[in-house]
Every structure is written in structure tokens, then in C-alpha cells.
Structure 1
Amino acid sequence: MERGRPPVRQQGLTEGSCHPELCLSPAPAPAVPPFCPVPPAPGAAPGAACAPAVPCRCLLALLTPFTSSPRSSGLVHIKNPHLETMDEDVLYHLDLGTKTHNLPAMFGDIKHGMGIPSVSIMLHELIKLLHHAKCRDVTIIRIGTSGGLGVEAGSVVITDRAVDACFQPRFEQVVLGDVVVRGTDLDGGLVEELLACSKAVPDFPTLVGHTMCTYDFYEGQGRLDGALCSFSNEKKLEYLKRAHDAGVRNIEMESTAFAALCGLCGLRAAVVCVTLLDRLEGDQIRASHEVLHEYQQRPQRLVAAFIRRRLGLCAATGNTQPSSD
């Protein structure tokens, strides 16, 4: 074992396996209507199903129906037996609680900061929110920006594998002094479905590739323009080319934690990010504000096409530019 490094233990779930302390197999849940963030039409009876005529704006948690789910009830299940003993669960960072709010009847916009710590906090509380709200058959899609690797700026990368800075599909989390290694598998079927939806937005390139997740924006991504830099441009390019050869097509700072948490909680998940530059050509983003603004809308347009397809609104034109409102 490396000196000074905490012991490492593997953690994961295999089909048919069960940890007695983590087994939360519930009694059959009563039938509840699928949760939907879109309110019913004005004047509709309480509990009436909504029929939105436009794609849902919630691009983080896509509450769309599936034919199968990790458990027969389709509900989101928490891998933490301690929650069942709590009198109240306060989702502090979301300003919500199981006693102060009627979570099954409401849903709010979720915003988070940058990097693994922020996305981890947000996901813990979002997943608990989905559980308390009795949401069913949930798909979560992360959309955002990234640095490209051997692809032109403005390309949209659909992640087929989230890897760490050593190009391995893993996420390391220190828990009680031990390094817990978690897998970062994403849903392959969801990747293919998103790629098929890219035909509705043909005015920018969309591709599938590995996404490298780092803990840092500067040294961790081999940038020469940070406050600290201990390597040459040649060493930087050598590293980035090795990443490209390993299948990496973009770099960001959330995907491994996102994939690991969603996977452990049985949620279908995907990562869709636009590239703001090709890191093999430089470190600084040179595009204008107007160009960057249009780039950042591209993942949203692709996921909107996905939502339209799930809602049966395929006739909508996916190539339509969003308004500036």
C-alpha cells in the first residue's frame, strides 16, 4: 500500500447481491400518479394530468416514463437505512424539508456550483428529494460546458464513459478515512437515444466519446495558464494526446461523481456537454461572448429534442433556435 494513502476498498452493486445493512427493499408502494413538474392547465381539477404543449424546462431531472426500472415500483430508492429513522429530513441546500414541504406535490429548479464537491452535495439532496417526492422512472441528464480534445469548438459530446485523470472508469471517495472506489457506468441505451435525437439538431456536430473528469481546472487539466504550473507545453501535449488515444473527447469536473451516485441509486443518467475549445490547440477560450452563448444552448437543444421525443412531440422542429427572452 502506498505510504500515507488510506486503504482502498471496492464498492458496487451486482445483480442479485444484497448488503444486509443497505437492503431497503420496501413493501409494495401504493399506486401514486407519476410526478410531473409541469402544472395542470388553469381550471383543471386537482390531480388532473398535465399535457404540456412545450418541452419541459427541467433539464436536470427528466421525469419521463420507461418500460422498465431498477425496481418494480419504479420509485427512487435511497441506499441509506438511517433515513427511515429520522423524524424529519431537512434538505438544507435546497431549502426544503419533509415536514415543511409537501414534496410529492412540488418540485423546484435546482442550481449548483462547479466541480465534484458541488455536484455531490446537489445530487445527494436531489436524489433524496426524488425519493421523498415518490418520483418514478427518473432519468437525470447533466448538461454543461467542457474543453474538447481533438474535436472542434462547439461540438456536443455525449459521454459513453466517465473516466478519471488516469483514464480509468472510476470515482474515488474518501469515506471515514478509507478510499472507496465506485464505478462510473452510464446507461448505454440512453446514449444511443440521445445520439439519435441529434438528427433533429443537425446544425452542430454531435459525437459519442469518453469524458475525463478532474478535480481541478488548471493543473489537473494540464493548463499552462494557472497560478501554478510545474510542467512544459511538451509534457502537457503528451498527456493530452495520451488521453485522446484512450478515447477521451472532452474534459470537465463533474461526470465521475455524477455517474457514480446515479448508478448506485439506480437512476438512468447521461452527460451531454458542449466543447468551448480544442485543448490540443490551447488553454484560453477565445470565442466571443455571442458565440459562447450560442454554444451553451446546444446541449439544451439536444436534450429538448430528447424530451420532445419522449413526450411524443417529434413533429416539433428541433433545429429551431431558442428565443433570447
Structure 2
Amino acid sequence: MTKKITASPLLWPALALVALLVVNVILTPSFLNIRVQDGHLFGSLIDILRNGAPTMLVALGMTLVIASRGIDLSVGAVVAVSGALACAHIAGSDQPGSTGTVLSAMGIALGVAVALGLWNGALVSVFGVQPIIATLVLMTAGRGIALFITDGQIVTTESAPFKVLGAGFAFGLPVAILVSLAVFALVGLLTRRTALGMLLESVGINPEASRLAGVRHRSIVFAVYVFSALCAGIAGLMIASNISAADANNAGLWIEMDAILAVVIGGTSLLGGRFSLTGTILGALIIQTLTTTVYTAGITPETTLVFKALVVIAVCLLQAPKFRALLRRRRRTARTTPAAPVSVRPAEPVVTR
């Protein structure tokens, strides 16, 4: 049982998350306190879950893309476009507080997000463009599209129904985290209770062999890019809803990097193939908890990226089989190395007269 636990790829991410929580408790003894106010749960842990929900969503989509041996650098731009479309539609409506207006704004935003995912999927699966190049194009152009929608301004909106997604509560918990967990459960059922997960892994391990085996690898690659864009679109709505505004310059900025880091920390290989959705969730929580720790410690926010890099390097090294084997070999060598022999000078013969 002990060997099974230590061999699990989730061990080190879980320990890293626990270590960050311990550091926060040392810095702020009341860090783990959760209070109930107006039937809702509040506290630092709840804030981590709510603020980390967009990253979780984007990372879930990124997990499936990376499992197919791809990458999606455009998710941050899709986040910005989605939030910009929703806020612009609501702000330009005669009834910004209407539920119908909010639903139509969300529908438009998610529809455009899916269209952007179709664009990425077509470039990669149909035309054979390298994923990093195909998504880099949209990463650059998408941010410009979001700025064009908002005319380079921060579009604010005061709509109570719209604010529910990012800042509302249901069953005592933030709606954002409930949505993220629902998507996680749905993806988990589809990939672990059906053949879809196995087909996706086969495409990531060897696309040509999967094609010869009759797997419709292009359709699977196409679908994962659409799903990734859809997750990014929902995350964009969450971020815009939380602040009741669309900031095309900063919304979703570097979220693609956080998502990739979360996927890598969770144990999914960048070479494609096997993936871990639970590990991705742990990785996203580590990223958000680390950000909270930096703020709690009074460290300037500009250095957050440095701390993220250090934590990611440490966790990835501990996950690497070669690095762990090297550590075990050194410990074993230290235990079995015999002590240096002690030379004993022979006694001089006694001369009797």
C-alpha cells in the first residue's frame, strides 16, 4: 500500500498544496477559518476556490488538448473576447438587468468562443498546421478582436443576473466553483466511463497507429480544441461577471501559462497520451494558493511569476522518475557504503634478554 501511494503521480502535487496551506496558516493563523454569513460560506479557502475556478476550467480544456499531443495558446484571448462580447451586449441593451438579456449575451459569447475553437481545430486537424503556430495566431489576433469590441475601453455593466456567475452563491458555495466542478464531473464521466478517454490517449501516444486502427483521430483533435475554447469562453464570463466589467487588455492575461502549469503539475505529459483530470484540478489549486500565499506574505505581485516557476520546477522534479531514481540511488549508496578501514599498526616484538 505504501509503495502504491508513493508511486501515485498525485502524491507530490497534493503534498505541495498541503505545504502551501501550512505556510499560509503560519503567516495567518485564521487562514483556514470558514464563517457562514447570510447562508453563504466565506473565508480564504472559499476565495481560493472562487478565484481559481476560471483557471480550473481553462486547465481542464488544456488537459484534453495536451493529451492529444497539442497545445492551445489562444485560451487567454478567447477569455478576453468572451467577456468583452457579453459586457458589450449587456451595456448596449435597454434592459441590462433582464435575465433574457444576460442569457442572450452569454449565448453570443459562448457561440463565438466555439467558433474560435472550430477555427483552431480546423487549422490543426484539417490543414495540418502545428498546434503552437495555429493557436499563436489566435492568441495575437484574439486580443485585438477583444480590444476592437470594447473600443480599447473598460466596459462596465451593472447587471445583477450577470453577476451571479462570477460572484453569486448557490447552496452556500460560489456559483463559479460549482460550474467548474460540474464540468470536471462531466468530462470525467465522458473520458473515464466511456471509450473516449482511451481513444484520446491513443491519438496522443501515436496518431498514425490510431488512424490505422480505425480511430477518427482528426475528429477527436477537432473536438478537443472546440472544448478548450468553450471552457475558455465560460471562464471569460466568470471573470467579467466577478468584476462586472470587461478589460480586454488584462482579462485572461497569462491564463494560458497558468493552465499549462496546472496540467504539468498534475502529471499530464506534454508529449501526449495519458492524462489526469484530478491532477489538473490539484495543479490549478496550487497555482491559485501560491498566488494567495504571495499576497499574504506581503511580497510584491510582480514576483508571483518567479515563485510559480520555483514551485513548478520543484514539483516537476519530484514527479520525474529519473530524478526520484537518482535520489533513491544516492540514499541507498549512503546507507550501504562501508566505513573506511582503520589501519592498525602491528605491535613490535618483545625482545627478551
Judge same fold: TM > 0.5, yes or no. no
Q: As a proportion of its length, which structure holds more strand? A: 1
Larger Rg: 2
Tell me which protein shows more helix as a share of its residues: 2
Of structures 1 and 2, the one with the larger relative CO (CA 8 A, separation 6+) is: 2
